[in-house]
A = this chain, B = another copy of it.
Amino acid sequence: MTGTLYLIPTPISEEAVIDSLTGDIVRVLHKTQHYAVENIRSARRFIKSVDRNINIDELTFYEIGKNSSDTEKSSIIDILISGKNVGIMSEAGAPGVADPGSDIVLAAHKANINVMPLVGASSILLALMGSGLNGQKFVFHGYLPIKQNERQKAIRQLEKESHNFSQSQLFIETPYRNKAIFDDLIKTCLPQTLLTVAVDLTGEEQFLETKSIQAWKSSQVVFPKKPAIFVLLA
């Protein structure tokens, strides 16, 4: 019998105050010795934090990046075919969603391996739930363009599509560009467009608010230097 490929979500925030651990994750960690991970150090720290009795030295870790090489993928699939379980973990949140891992999952499907996604934290899902915006139809775009003129063009396009299709538009940003994106949104969007700003979800400095662009204009916003998600509904 082949092993199972477990997709194991890890905490989102470095100083997580929201407990995102389920009994399933604990049980899976106890029956898995092989891990394909975005970052070995944080994966070891996470496993140790779940149960100090797990002997980390008996575990094997394979580091995966944005795209795994065919050799890396086939060695992971070989482990599964030999009957052993493999866990995939990204550095934070749900593997394969705005994070590495999906190419290994696809390779597993091709090899008829059982794929088991586990319940855990995803900043995309938490932001959408907490936004109060349309959760019946939504689009996740990843990062917007870095250059300001392209970014403003992208924002105008998102706003238009949001209005035409009643879709919530989600995108993420790295801490040092939060303020720049926010300023572009305020400058570019229509006054009545709704915008959710979600920063450091599950963390100590969690900030999650939805306002119209007009209302944001008169708010004082200080962004903590933490990853952010934005949700827009025109």
- Which residues of A are at the interface with B, using a C-beta cutoff of 8 A? 7, 18-24, 27, 94-99, 101-109, 115-122, 124-142, 167, 194, 201-202, 208-211
A23 to B140 Cα, complex, angstroms? 28
**A-side interface mostly:** mixed
Pair B140/A106 contact, Cβ less than 8 Å: no
16 A/B residue pairs, CB under 8 Å, sorted by A:
A18-B24, A18-B119, A21-B23, A94-B129, A101-B135, A102-B131, A102-B133, A102-B135, A103-B132, A105-B132, A107-B132, A117-B126, A119-B119, A119-B121, A136-B142, A137-B140
With A97-B129, A129-B95, A130-B117 as given contacts, are A22 and B24 in contact (CB-CB < 8 Å)?
A: no
Contacts of A117 in B (CB 8 A): 125-127, 129-130, 201, 208
